[in-house]
């Protein structure tokens, strides 16, 4: 009978160890999938937006702050309007946690979008007609309802600069 109790106790300790390892594996998996989600959201949003801005016929409007800095920590506009390569007006802005183009959601989980505009001499400008390149910084977070302490609660920041080809 004593041997049975010892075996049960040892088996219980081994099972607790296995459970701990499995929980850590699941936590690492959830953190990884959360990171992939936020990076994909940021990448998709930047790629779509910047491809159209690069080929734009004109920058028609920039929101306040486009010509203010310092880049990337201060200032920056929160939206931009362009005439795309086909002559169609496109407006990019963040509404809630969604990056939208003309009211259609491009990417979710967007916490912040900042745009700085530069003229021919690489000087910040707030005048839409003078914009020749833009610097864009996007911050995304997990779209799912992850809590602050949850491993799925991830954030990503991506930034790039693009020169307009058609201007």
Distance linking the first and last C-alpha atoms of the chain:
88
Contact 63, 78 (CB under 8 A): yes
Q: What is the pLDDT of residue 162?
A: 92
User: With bands split at pLDDT 50, 70 and 90, how would you rate the model's confidence at 148?
Assistant: low
pLDDT digits (tens, 9 = 90+) for 100-147: 999 999 888 888 899 999 999 999 998 989 999 999 999 888 877 666
Query: What mean pLDDT is predicted for residues 156-165?
Result: 90
Structural tokens at position 37:
């989600």
Q: What is the pLDDT of residue 100?
A: 92
Provide the residue ranges of all domains of the chain, joining segments of one domain with +. 2-163
User: For the whole prediction, is pTM greater than 0.95?
Assistant: no
pLDDT digits (tens, 9 = 90+) for 88-97: 999 999 998 8
**Helix H segments across 55-82?**
none
Contact 110, 138 (CB under 8 A): yes
């Amino acid at each position: 009978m004593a041997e049975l109790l010892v075996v049960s106790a040892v088996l219980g300790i081994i099972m607790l160890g296995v459970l701990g390892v499995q929980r850590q594996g699941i936590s690492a998996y959830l953190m990884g999938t959360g990171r992939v989600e936020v990076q994909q959201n940021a990448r998709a949003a930047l790629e779509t937006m910047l491809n159209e801005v690069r080929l734009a016929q004109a920058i028609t409007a920039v929101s306040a702050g486009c010509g203010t800095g310092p880049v990337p920590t201060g200032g920056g506009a929160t939206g931009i309007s362009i005439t795309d390569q086909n002559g169609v007006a496109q407006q990019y802005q963040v509404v809630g946690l969604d990056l939208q183009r003309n009211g259609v959601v491009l990417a979710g989980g967007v916490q912040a979008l900042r745009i700085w505009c530069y003229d021919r001499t690489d000087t910040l400008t707030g005048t839409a007609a003078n914009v020749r390149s833009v610097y864009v910084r996007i911050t995304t977070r997990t779209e799912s309802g992850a809590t602050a302490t949850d491993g799925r609660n991830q954030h990503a920041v991506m930034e790039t600069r693009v020169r307009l080809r058609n201007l």
